[in-house]
Structure 1
Amino acid sequence: MGKRPTILDVARHAGVSKSTVSLVLQNSPLVKEATRKDVEKSMAALSYVYNRSAAGLRGASTGLIGLIINDLRNPFFTEFAASAQMTFASKGYSTVIANTDEDPDIQAQVIESMIEHGVSAFVISPAYGGDCRAFDRIQRAAIPTLQVLRQLDERTDIFPFASLDYGSGGAMAAKHLIDLGCRNIAFVGGLQDRPITLERMSGYDAVMKSEAQEPRWFHGRPSRAFGREIALRLVEQNKEIDAAVCFSDLVALGMLSGFAEIGVQAGRDFRLVGFDDIEECSLAYPRLSSVRCNTSLFGRNAAEAMLEWMVEGKRPPDTKRYNVELIARQSSLGAQQTK
C-alpha cells in the first residue's frame, strides 16, 4: 500500500507552512478563513487523515492496532481476539478492540473512528452485509489490513485474507459419522447462503454425495436456542435422521440441551459433531465431538503475520488457510469414549 500523506505533503500542496497546517488541525482562530479552506481542500485531495494520537505515539516504542470483531459474545471470536491482542502486546503494540455485533454500519463507524485516532494497522473479522466503502476508506488511508475468518472484500491483493480450512473440517465430521454407521446425517445451523455457512457445509455436502446419501440442511441463527429447537423438531418430525454436523459448537450444545430434555442420549440414540472446539466441548456432558480450529493458535498466527507486514514489510499471502482436526468424544462415539 502507498505511503500515507503527511502534514508536510499537505503544506506543500496548499502552499503554506507546516505550522499553518497544524494550526488548521487545531482549529486555531489565528488562521484566515481563506487559508483554512485551501488547507482543507488539500487534505481532501490527498486523503489526509488527522492522527489524533500521533503526538503521543511519535517517538514511542508502541503502535496501535485496530482489532475489529463481528461478534465478541461468541466464545470462538473472543478466544481469537484475546490471543491476537496478547501477541501484539508481547511485541510492544497496544490494541483497541471493537465489537460490531454483526452490524455493517457500526463496522464502518468504528473503522472511521480508528483511522482518525491513528491506528497503524487493522485486523478485521468483518460483519456481512452493506458494501465495501469502509474498506475503500482504509485503502485511501494506506493502512495495512488483514481480513480474518470471514472475507468481505474480494480485493485480497490489497486486503489479504487468513482463515481456517472449514471445508476439510466439514468433510472430516461427515466422514467420521459415516464410518460410525450413520447415513441420515443433517447439517444444522448457519444462515442460508452466507459464505461462512457455505464453506462449512461444502465438505459435508461432498462426503454425503460421494456416499450416495442425501444432504439435509436446517439453516438458522448459529445459537444454542436454535440448536435446542432443531433437536426437539428432529425427534418429533424427522426421526429418520440419526446424526448431525453442526455449523458451530453453540448449535451443537443447544442440541445436547434439547435432547437431554426429552431423554435422547447423544452418542447412543443420536450422533453429534460440533464445529470450533471451544472449551465447553470438553466440559459438557456428554462431551462434545467437534472440529478443532485451534482459535488461540490462529489468533497468534494472524497477529504475527500482521507484525511481519508492519515491521519487516513482509506482506501476508493473498489467501491462507490453516489446518483443522476432528476431536472425537462421547457425543459421536458414545460410551466407548472414556477420556
Structure 2
Amino acid sequence: MIRRPTILDVAARAGVSKSTVSLVLQGSKQVRPETREAVEKAMAEIGYVYNRAAANLRSASVGLVGLVINDLRNPFFTEFATSLQMALAAEGYATVIANSDEDAELQAKLVGSMIEHGVSALVISPAYGAASDTFDQLARTGLPVLQVLRKMDERTSIFPFASFDYASGSAKATRHLLEQGAASVAFVGGLPGRAITRERKSGWREVLKAEGIEEIALHGKSSRAFGMQAADQLMADYPDVDAALCFNDLVALGLMAGFARAERPVGSGFHVVGFDDIEEAAQSWPQLSSVACDISGFARDTAARLLHWMVEGQRPEPEFRSPVRLISRASSLGPTE
C-alpha cells in the first residue's frame, strides 16, 4: 500500500515547520505570501490532500503552546511564565503552563502529556537531572522547542537556548562592591557543579583573580533559608569578609535577614548584591542592590522568536544572551542622607 503524504512531508519539502503548514491550511494571515506559496507548491508536488474533517477534530489544539517551568514558586520564574503567557495571548495563542518542581522524571511526563494534547510548540526552563527522556521525545516530534534560562540539552541546533549574560553581571557586581571599599567579596548560594552556578561565579572569579583577592564561596540552595544560614557562617568563620555577591535575590534577602538578626548593619558595615532584581529587591529594608535581568522583556522576546519560528519556519540562532545591568541600592551603597 502506498503511504499517503502527511503534513510532516509537506513541512520537510517546503523547509518549514509543521506549525507553519498548519497555519497555511487554516488560511492564517500571519504567514508571509512567499512562505504560503512555498507550502502550497510542496503540497502540489507531493500530492498532499488536506483532510478537513480530521483537522476540525484537532482544531481545539491549534495555537496551543506548552510552557514547562522548573520552579514556579520562585518569583523570577513566575514573572517569566506570566509575561510569556501574556505575550503569546496578545498574538492569539493559548498557553498550557506546568511546574516540574525540579523533578526531571515529572518533567518528562508533563512534556509527554503536552505532546499528546497537540501543542504546536514548547518553551522549557528545564529541571536539573537526566534530561534525555524529555528532549529525546521532543526531538521525535519535530516541534519548535526553545530552552530558556537553563541549558540541559547540548543540541542547540535542535533546541535553541536563550538566557542572560550572567558572567558580565557578576563581574559588574564584584567591581561595584570593591569600589564601595570592600576588601573581600564572598560568593553565596548556588549548588556546586551546576552550569548556572559556574556562570554566575565566573565574572566574580575573574575580577578577584585580577585583584589578587582570595576566593571564598559558600554553596547551597538558592533560598532565603540558606541565606540566613550563610550569614551565621560568614560571621563565625570569615570575619574579614565584608561583602557578598549572592547567587540570587532570595539568598541575598535571607543573608540580610541573618545579619539583621545578629544586629549587624548591611550597607555600610557589610555590602550585599543579589541577582535577578525581583520585585521584592526594591521593597526590602535596606533596599537590595541586584544584577537586573529584564525578565519581562526577555519573555516578550522569547515569544517573538518562537512565533517567528512557528509561522515562518525560521529556527532561532543556537544560543542567545540577553544583557543585564547592575542596580545599586542601599545594601551596597550604604544609607543615603
Could you say what secondary structure the match of 2:77 adopts? helix
SS at the partner of 2:290?
A: strand
Shift of 1:136: 1.1
What CA deviation, in whole Å up to 9, does each residue of 1:202-234 have, x standing for no partner? 010001101111111100000000000111221
What CA RMSD, in Å, does the superposition of the two structures yield over aligned residues? 1.8
Aligned twin of 2:266 = 266
Per-residue Cα deviation, 1:80-101 (whole angstroms, up to 9, x for no partner)? 0000000000000000000000
Per-residue deviation at 1:79? 0.3
CA–CA separation in structure 1 for the residues paired with 2:71 and 2:61: 31
Question: Matched residues in 2 for 1:252 and 1:69: separation?
Answer: 23
Q: TM-score, normalised by structure 2?
A: 0.83
**Is structure 2 residue 107 aligned with structure 1 residue 107?**
yes
1:183 maps to what in 2? 183
Q: Does 1:229 align with 2:234?
A: no
Distance, in Å, in 1 between the alignment partners of 2:166 and 2:126 is: 17
The answer to whether the Cα contact below 8 Å between 1:177 and 1:271 also exists between their aligned partners in 2 is: yes
Alignment-mate amino acid for residue 257 of structure 1 = A
1:122 aligns with 2:118: no
Is the CA contact (8 Å cut-off) linking 1:61 and 1:92 kept in structure 2? no
Aligned residue in 2 for 1:285:
285
1:57 shift after superposition:
4.7
Any idea what the Cα deviations from partners look like across 1:175-201, whole Å, max 9, x if unmatched? 101111212110000000111100100
SS in 2 for 1:153: coil
Q: Which amino acid is the alignment partner of residue 136 of structure 2?
A: D
Please report the TM-score for the alignment, with normalisation by the length of structure 1: 0.82
Counterpart of 1:286 in structure 2: which amino acid?
P
Aligned length: 289
Post-superposition, which runs of at least 4 consecutive aligned residues in structure 1 deviate over 6 A? Answer: none
2:76 and 2:276 in contact (8 A); partners too: yes
Report if aligned partners of 2:290, 2:327 keep a CA contact under 8 Å in 1. yes
Q: Is the 8 A contact 1:70 1:125 kept in 2?
A: yes
2 CA distance for matches of 1:137 and 1:274?
37
- Equivalent residue number for residue 87 of structure 2: 87
The equivalent residue for 1:218 is 218
AA aligned opposite 2:116: E
Q: Which runs of 5+ in 2 are unaligned?
A: 10-53
Equivalent AA in structure 2 for residue 250 of structure 1: L
Distance 1:121 1:86 in 2: 16
**Cα deviation, residue 236, structure 1:** 2.0
Which deviates the most, 173-182 or 148-157? 173-182
Residue deviations 1:256-303, cap 9 Å, x none? 111111111110110000000000000000000000001111111111
Q: Which structure has more RCO (C-alpha within 8 Å, separation ≥ 6)? A: 2
1-side partners of 2:6 and 2:280: how far apart?
49
